[in-house]
Amino acid sequence: MKIAMIGQKGIPATYGGVERHVEELAVRLVERGHDVTVYTRPHYDRHNARRPKPSRHPMYYRGVRLVQLPSIATKHLDAISHVALCTAHAVESRADIVHYHAVGPALLCWIPRLFRQKAVVTIHAQDALRSKWGRFARFALNCGEWMAVCAPRATICVSESLAAKLSRRYGRRVEFVPNGVVLVEESDDSILAELGVERGAYILFASRLVPEKGCHYLIGAWEEAGRPLPLVMAGDSSFSPAYVERIKSMSGGSAVKFPGNIYGARLASLFRNATLFVLPSDLEGLPIVLLEALGYGVPVLASDIPPNCEVMGEIGKTFVAGDIGDLREKLRQCLAAAEELKRDAGLAASRIASRYDWDLITQQTTSVYTRATRPGQHL
């Protein structure tokens, strides 16, 4: 099958859950004999030290063809301008499956149908709920959500609870295929020295620094708890510079570390040596970073939103989403019981790795592709 992936910023992934999802899926599809093209954006590629150097020949990453097309790199136009060019390229290249990722890009998923090509959409989260968007952008994203469910040949959602919700809302079938987790065997403990933190003596957050991730809740609760351990906030802005400045000003000193985007062995080291991983999100699809923390055997404290609870089950602890007071008390409780939580987290780690296996996820996605190419109505 000839497959085109549209909506991600690029691969190999250095940040972003969608980018990680596309990388892991695309590489495994190639290993199974499929012809996969992943479209990339110039601003992501420029800062991606892992990406192959440009040349006049087609670029490949682990067998995946990389096609860089331009975008209007602003908050509102970056994604849709890139998706428009990628869609035209995928239509011209006669891809069997044009796979859109996220509801914003799904606004254009109807175009391949005009050329008798099959579109598939993966919904990674309810993007219209992100606080960075204004009224018009939210309207567009809500339209994208409708389009993502009603226009393509098949719709996938990474969250089981969200898939059920969308199926009920639109009266259409939405397949549940989760995110997966890949754990890096190597560690690079030099990151600890760079940040001035010790093994087993810091609290970790790792994700984009945007309002819906709840960074401000965590810093506020950490302050109220008396700054019990250094706090590492690994990640960077996503068209949210004012918010990043706000949370940095909240920290008021060197006890909060902001190392930017960390990946590979350095990120694995941050996970493995953390006392506690905290994910205080208001909004998620199915957070890969939470799967990683659980897979590395790190004690986890997360907000009680459905996608987090869906992943955690009986593992780890939760607090009431958006409640700084509850987060403060749960922080204290988790740190007081750190040794017990570490032992329990270690016992649960292998279950996470086996349940959220990318090989199984690739097999499930391929099955969706196969059904999507059969004659008939929306699946």
Tens-place pLDDT, residues 300-338: 999 999 999 988 888 889 999 999 999 999 999 999 999
Name the residue among 204, 233, 360, 191 with its Cα closest to residue 292: 204
Helix (H) / strand (E) element for 169: namely helix 160-170
* pLDDT for res 249: 87
Name the residue among 237, 249, 259 with its Cα closest to residue 193: 259
Higher pLDDT, 255 or 359: 359
* pLDDT for res 46: 66
Residue 115 in tokens? 């050329």
* pLDDT for res 76: 78
Higher pLDDT, 170 or 137: 170
Residue written as tokens 């990120």?
267
- pLDDT tier, 362 (very low <50, low <70, confident <90, very high otherwise): very high
Q: Is residue 34 predicted with pLDDT exceeding 80?
A: yes
Q: Residue 116 burial (CB < 10 Å; 0-12/13-18/19+)?
A: exposed
- pLDDT tier, 251 (very low <50, low <70, confident <90, very high otherwise): confident
* pLDDT for res 240: 74
3-state helix, strand, coil in the chain (%, to 5): 45, 15, 40
Query: Lowest-pLDDT range, 12-21, 51-60, 84-93, 183-192?
Result: 51-60
Q: Is residue 97 predicted with pLDDT exceeding 90?
A: yes
Q: Which structural domains are found in the chain, ordered by start?
A: 2-180+357-372 (3.40.50.2000), 190-355 (3.40.50.2000)
Q: Is residue 376 predicted with pLDDT exceeding 80?
A: no
Higher pLDDT, 122 or 237: 122
* pLDDT for res 253: 63
* pLDDT for res 18: 92
* pLDDT for res 344: 87
- pLDDT tier, 254 (very low <50, low <70, confident <90, very high otherwise): low
* pLDDT for res 279: 97
Higher pLDDT, 77 or 5: 5
Q: Which amino acid is at 339?
A: E
Read off the pLDDT of residues 125-142 as tens digits, 9 standing for 90 and up.
Answer: 887 777 677 788 889 888
Q: Is residue 29 predicted with pLDDT exceeding 60?
A: yes
Read off the pLDDT of residues 273-310 as tens digits, 9 standing for 90 and up.
Answer: 999 999 999 989 888 999 999 999 999 999 999 999 98
Question: How high does pLDDT run on average in the chain?
Answer: 90
Per DSSP, what are the bridge partners of residue 22?
A: none
Higher pLDDT, 85 or 45: 85
Measured over the CA atoms of residue 199, residue 221, residue 210 and residue 349, the dihedral's sign is: positive
Q: Which amino acid is at 84?
A: A
* pLDDT for res 305: 93
Q: For the chain, what percent of residues have pLDDT higher than 90?
A: 68
